[in-house]
Amino acid sequence: MTKKRKITEREKKDFQMKAALLIVFAFIFASTTFYGYQILFADNVLLDKPAKVLYIPKGADFKTVVDSLEKGEYLHDRLSFMFLSKLLKYRENVKPGRYEIQTNTNNFELIKMLRNGRQTPLKLTFNNLRTKEDFVKRVARKMSFPASSLMDTLNNADFLTTNYGFNDTTIMTMFIPNTYEVYWTYTVIDLLDFFQNEYNKYWNADRIKKANEIGLTPVQVSIMASIVEAETQKNDEKAKIAGVYMNRYKAGQRLQADPTLVFATGDFSAKRINEYHRYYKSPYNTYRKSGLPPGPINLPSIPSIEAVLNYEQHDYYFFCARPDLTGYHLFSRNFEEHLTVARDYWKSLDKENIHQDKRLTTTKKTK
């Protein structure tokens, strides 16, 4: 039988030392692993709302990003974000953009999104716009480029003709009112290219064929639709109004569209049309000029464009707002019928105290 050897004091101390070191190393490993996990996967974006948008401008460096995150109070732990950004080489790969950051996002997800330039598109909606200036103000305020840059391009007839096939007046027909998803970092050219692509999607072979069948180009359809758009907000009577103007157009008559006078004079507050408007010298004055105006008088909605493409065929040549001021219209085949209806409408305007500008003549409105 083997006799057990007695452990010496030295050996006992060595064992205790090794055990202590093992415990220390295990603690360090666990702590490091836990902290590493915290850096990578623990929520570091703790917002007081579901999401916030971070804008990183062109030319921004890593310091700009960190300053923006701190100023907007995005980060719970700034140091962990900076440490992981270095490991993932984000500091050298800052990309501009508009980023929607969700609350409860961890460092790894946040840095990966920013490093890859995975922007959040913004929704761009425009409708009820009359002028080029209105369009520029509505669009540019959402984009990273200045409004003046967009306006200068839209006024450059040679550039527009060469690159898009429109001039500085007809270019407005390329923008079809709707809601679009675009990126904040788009340049002016990026945006125009985007809208040209959307325009071409809308003006497919079927719609171009319809335009040809009614004797108009797509641009002319949009110009006519802009008049219809200005005449009524009632989608269910737009095709009928389009039919009146198509009857006049095909008969070689002047359109005599009151909204074109308003656009020509820039007198958008006008409630009633008078001699001042009718005799105003402008290529948009369809009381003086035959045919369509040179460009749209607003950005017509899709229902107005469709109303022209599918205009109602009838024998009406006149229309006037109903005396009940509901926004609907009464239609007439000849001027005598129209004048009778118009007188009732004028009486309604008088009752509502809607008068012509006293500085101008008081000739009654006729269509």
Q: What percent of the chain has pLDDT over 90?
A: 67
Q: How confident is the model at residue 1 (pLDDT cuts 50, 70, 90)?
A: low
Tens-place pLDDT, residues 14-66: 555 654 445 544 444 434 443 444 444 455 566 667 889 999 999 999 999 99
Token pair for residue 65? 């990003």
Mean pLDDT calculated for residue range 199-213? 98
CA atoms within 13 A on the CB side of 331: 16
Helix 188-202 vs helix 157-164: crossing angle, to nearest 10: 50
Tens-place pLDDT, residues 114-134: 999 999 999 999 998 999 999
The pLDDT score that the predictor gives to residue 167 is 97
The pLDDT score that the predictor gives to residue 57 is 95
Q: Is residue 104 left, alpha or beta, with left meaning phi > 0 and alpha meaning psi from -120 to 50?
A: left
The contacts of residue 119 (CB under 8 Å, 6+ apart) are 97, 98, 99, 183, 184, 185
Q: Is the pLDDT of residue 254 over 70?
A: yes
The pLDDT score that the predictor gives to residue 107 is 86
**Which pairing describes strands 51-56 and 97-102: parallel, antiparallel, or unpaired?**
antiparallel
**102 phi, psi to nearest 5 deg:** -85, 145
What's the rounded Cα separation, in Å, for the pair 79 and 70?
Answer: 11
Q: Is the pLDDT of residue 69 over 80?
A: yes
The pLDDT score that the predictor gives to residue 345 is 86
The pLDDT score that the predictor gives to residue 325 is 85
Q: How confident is the model at residue 78 (pLDDT cuts 50, 70, 90)?
A: confident
The pLDDT score that the predictor gives to residue 45 is 64
Mean pLDDT calculated for residue range 187-206? 98
Q: Is the pLDDT of residue 197 over 50?
A: yes
What's the rounded Cα separation, in Å, for the pair 213 and 215?
Answer: 5
Q: Calculate the average pLDDT of the chain.
A: 87
Which residue has 């391009």 as its token pair?
153
Q: Is the pLDDT of residue 102 over 60?
A: yes
Token pair for residue 43? 């929520």
Q: Is the pLDDT of residue 153 over 60?
A: yes
The pLDDT score that the predictor gives to residue 350 is 80
The pLDDT score that the predictor gives to residue 8 is 66
Q: Is the pLDDT of residue 335 over 70?
A: yes
- CATH level 3 topology of 44-115: Dna Ligase; domain 1 (3.30.1490)
What's the rounded Cα separation, in Å, for the pair 133 and 147?
Answer: 9
The pLDDT score that the predictor gives to residue 67 is 95
**At CA 93, angle to CA 90 and CA 96, rounded to 5?**
110
More confident residue, 242 or 34: 242
More confident residue, 312 or 25: 312
Residue 74's H or E segment, with its range, is none
Q: How confident is the model at residue 328 (pLDDT cuts 50, 70, 90)?
A: very high
Which of 236, 234, 202, 237 is CA-nearest to residue 221?
202
Which of 53, 105, 61 is CA-nearest to residue 81?
105
Which of 105, 102, 108 is CA-nearest to residue 83?
108
Q: Is the pLDDT of residue 172 over 80?
A: yes
Sequence ranges of the domains in the chain = 44-115, 122-202, 205-351
Mean pLDDT calculated for residue range 198-219? 98
Q: Is the pLDDT of residue 353 over 80?
A: no
**16 phi, psi to nearest 5 deg:** -60, -40
More confident residue, 224 or 4: 224
The contacts of residue 359 (CB under 8 Å, 6+ apart) are none
Q: Is the pLDDT of residue 258 over 50?
A: yes
DSSP-derived secondary structure letter, 294: S
